[in-house]
Amino acid sequence: MSMITLQKPSQSEVTLLSNIFIDDYMPEANGEFVKVYIYLLRTLSTTPVSFSLEEMADRLLCTERDILRALKYWARQDILALDFAEDKVLRSIALLPPKSKAPASEPSGSSVSRQPAPAQTVPLTPDRVRELKQNEEIVQLLYIAEQYLGKTLSPSEIQKLLFFYDGLGFSTDLIEYLLEYCVSRSHKSIRYMETVALAWAQEGISTVAEAKKANARYSKDYYSILKTLGITNRSPVETEVTLMDTWLKTYGFSMAVIQEACTRTVLQTGQASFQYADKILTGWKKKQVKSLEDIQALDAEYKKRKQEKKQAKAPASPASGNKFNNFQQREYNFDEYEKRLLNQ
């Protein structure tokens, strides 16, 4: 059993997780990769620690290959330094302080980001591509991909598939399922596959079982949303899936809230407008809506403001002893309310 030396730059009696790591590195990483990094921090003591990949894999209930893939990922992020012997056996790991990543500037008036691509989506180097293509698993994966797509893979398609493996840390089994999942839904575009892969990575999906469970859950939600909008004869297209993922995953809305927005969309526009529903839901997100009760409270608040404004503009009427004559009928313009909500 080959032993590995883990070195640390400073002493610490507790496990400290950098805020920079939490803010800049953790959101983009596979959940298994994060687990490995935290375990390394926990393993540190006042002196260098020796352990094996086998021991670490047993502790984290994964394979040595998973551990090594995670370590290489963090090394590419420059928060680990790996030292390999001449026989390519890992012999030491040095933790490096995470460096803050400067946030990308957004153009004025830009809309909410739908599916931000992680920073590690840069193309692999030619040397790394050549190295991966010597891996028997990769050779088999590329062959399977050509069978699914029914054509010879282009260099850019090969790059993406290798990125799923090397950058996102997906196993070849998970990538094969990704191909099967997308092709079975008539999506052979590598761009579509990348969108799905990035979504899985952000959810921490690392096994075929986890992917199947997530797909079953979200597929049911997708078709429920389509049905509410009056769409019953087709599957959702890529842009619609992106919007629904934003509502479900990024905004965290319940199906009840999303279906309420869709119902209002159809009543207001007379058609299945994803863009209109998105404006409603984005407005509700800004107002911190979390339930149907919150929507009802917004409706009541709007009615109250509108009535107060109407009463302030109404001319004073002579007093009357007839209580029915003194009753002022309330009139609500729900169409106008929706328009004002969307323009906020």
Residue 30 is encoded by which pair of tokens? 């596979």
Give how many domains the chain has, as a whole number. 3
67/161 same-domain check: no
Last residue of a domain, one of 174, 206, 238: 206
229/272 same-domain check: yes
Last residue of a domain, one of 206, 241, 266: 206
106 belongs to a structural domain? no
Distance from C-alpha of 150 to C-alpha of 153, rounded to nearest angstrom = 9
224/184 same-domain check: no
141 belongs to a structural domain? yes
185/229 same-domain check: no
296/232 same-domain check: yes
Please tell me the predicted confidence (pLDDT) of residue 252.
87
Consecutive 10-residue averages of pLDDT for the chain (344 residues): 66 74 83 87 68 84 83 85 79 84 43 38 76 90 93 91 90 93 84 86 85 79 91 81 85 92 93 93 92 92 86 66 53 62 63
Last residue of a domain, one of 156, 178, 206: 206
The enclosing domain of 10 has a CATH number of 1.10.10
20/90 same-domain check: yes
Please tell me the predicted confidence (pLDDT) of residue 316.
60
26/130 same-domain check: no
51/166 same-domain check: no
Residue 45 is encoded by which pair of tokens? 């003591």
Give the range of the structural domain holding residue 146, as residue numbers without chain letter: 119-206
Please tell me the predicted confidence (pLDDT) of residue 73.
83
Please tell me the predicted confidence (pLDDT) of residue 55.
86
Please tell me the predicted confidence (pLDDT) of residue 111.
35
Please tell me the predicted confidence (pLDDT) of residue 329.
52
22/124 same-domain check: no
130/55 same-domain check: no
